[in-house]
Amino acid sequence: MSDKTIQGDTASKAPRNTTGGWLSDLDRKRAAGPFLADHASPGTGMSTTAVHAGTHDDPRTGAVGTPIYQASTFVLGDNQYKSVEDGFVRDRFIYSRYGNPSQWAVQEKLAALEGAESAIVFSSGMAAITSTVLALMDKGAHVVASSDLYGGTFNLFNQEFPTLGMFATLVDPHDYEAIEAAIQPNTQLMYFEAITNPMLKVIDIPRLSEIAKRRNVRLVVDATFAPPVAMRTLDHGVDVVIHSASKYLNGHSDLIAGVAAGPRKLIDMIWPRLLNFGGSLDPHACFLLERGLKTLAVRMRAHEESAMALATYLEGQPKVQKVFYPFLESHPDHATAKRLLKNGTGNITFVIEGGDAAALRLVDALSIPKQATSLGGVESLISLPFNTSQATFTARQRADVGIDPGCVRLSVGIEDAADLIADFENALGTIYASKDLTHA
């Protein structure tokens, strides 16, 4: 394969230094990417983009779809040696921890979906989060973050930050005045999740971005619960958007991956952390993610259709005390959801009568949703915060974040709404017919 074909247009346009090296050239401009050549989306719609952007038919055989470049290393030619010498190794294939055509292909698709100049994939969502946060913060710096965070991110701030000389203040993500008040002279970052778990609070990202810009602080948002079909997070003024691609982006519960997307300038700052921490994504996993992404838009429509029908059904059930689904009018953030989200997601949280004992019986009585943590797969997944995601919390801590006894977390898959409703109808009927719960 010729160097021109495989190295992409970014590489061929990469600035060449005349004197002093590329890194010392203050006028340098970085092209978007790095991407393989000429694989932009032929249309602007999300489905067209999901199917075509970044996908790179095999130039040698014409095989449709990006080949899996299962290689750890690449033959070194003049181009590669020059990239090392001139400081643009990210624009050449040298070694797969640095970059691989399978990574570049899926990165181009992800960047196109997010409307970003650049994206990098990681071996997990946590690798994306850790690399991004540590790239954008110096020793001694401070982050203002949501008090409603994914547990792994909370652990990063709580367990790792003190040893790194970094500090976090956690604030209610709905209390915009407290968020601004928490900003200190050494605050470098604001870190929030677009939709929180499990209470599915929808955060006013444009408002956070206004604060961040005014106070000269960077804003990073984990949009795992709001993939690009639902929200193009960067369009709301966010600096870097992160996802656990293990969830909706891949969509098939068969892969762990993460992504960070944003302006190339910032992604180029995060990339050395990927190298240092070693969280690069294997080429086969890139293939799986790229394949999963092709159906993102249709999957999200199916998730929304089934979740909306099931949430509406659950809201009408006498034994269901509360239902949280952002597209229901009863959701406290319904207006924000309507304003920011183009599409609903599949996550519903609800509380049933009879507390956690009843919830345990419900998950056993259902036949379609699998009892498993995680979310965003084509199959419905169900779990209880009290014995999974918030198991280390005391009952009082759970109450503080709104998790009542009997709280159930459901990731609605793409199964037919009628089948899901029938399954819940049967399970609710069965558990409340039982004597113990009737008298609970």
Ligand X SMILES: Cc1ncc(COP(=O)(O)O)c(C=O)c1O
Q: What are the residues binding ligand X (CB under 6 A)?
A: 124-126, 150, 152, 193, 197, 222, 224, 244, 246, 256, 258
Active site residue 150: yes
Any catalytic annotation for residue 78? no
Rounded CA-CA distance 355/358 in Å is: 6
Identify residue 38 by its one-letter amino acid code.
Answer: D
Active site residue 98: no
- The nearer residue to ligand X, 94 or 348, going by C-beta atoms, is 348
Q: Which of 91, 148, 204, 222 is catalytic?
A: 222
Helix axes 101-114, 283-293, angle to 10 degrees: 30
Residues of 4-20 as b/e, b for ≥16 C-beta within 10 angstroms?
eebbbbbbeebbebeee
Closest approach, Cβ 155 to ligand X, in A, equals 11
Distance CA(260)–CA(120), nearest Å, equals 6
Strands 407-411 and 347-352: antiparallel
CB of 126 to ligand X, least distance (A): 4
- Which lies closer to ligand X via its Cβ, residue 32 or residue 255? 255
**AA identity, residue 431:** I
Taking the complex as a whole, the smallest distance from the CB of residue 222 to ligand X amounts, in Å, to: 5
Cβ neighbors of 130 (< 8 A, separation 6 or more) are: 156, 160, 273, 277, 279
Cβ-closest position to ligand X: 125
Residue found by looking up tokens 């690399």 in the block: 131
Compute the least distance from the CB of residue 280 to ligand X, in Å. Answer: 14
Among residues 90, 109, 150, 409, the one annotated as catalytic is 150
Task: Rank residues 88 and 287 by Cβ distance to ligand X and give the closer one.
Answer: 287
Give the number of other CB atoms < 10 A from CB of residue 24: 10
Distance in Å, CB of 244 to ligand X, minimum: 3
Kindly name the residue from 3, 82, 97, 404 that is annotated as catalytic. 97
Cβ-based nearer residue to ligand X, 11 or 121? 121
* Whether 247 is catalytic: yes
Closer CB to ligand X, residue 116 or residue 194?
Answer: 194
- DSSP symbols for 44-56: SSHHHHHHHTT--
User: From the candidates 30, 90, 109, 247, which is the catalytic residue?
Assistant: 247
Query: Is there a contact between 230 and 114 (Cβ–Cβ < 8 Å)?
Result: no
Task: Please check whether residue 320 is in contact with residue 352, taking contact to mean a CB–CB distance below 8 angstroms.
Answer: yes
**Residues that are catalytic:** 97, 150, 222, 247
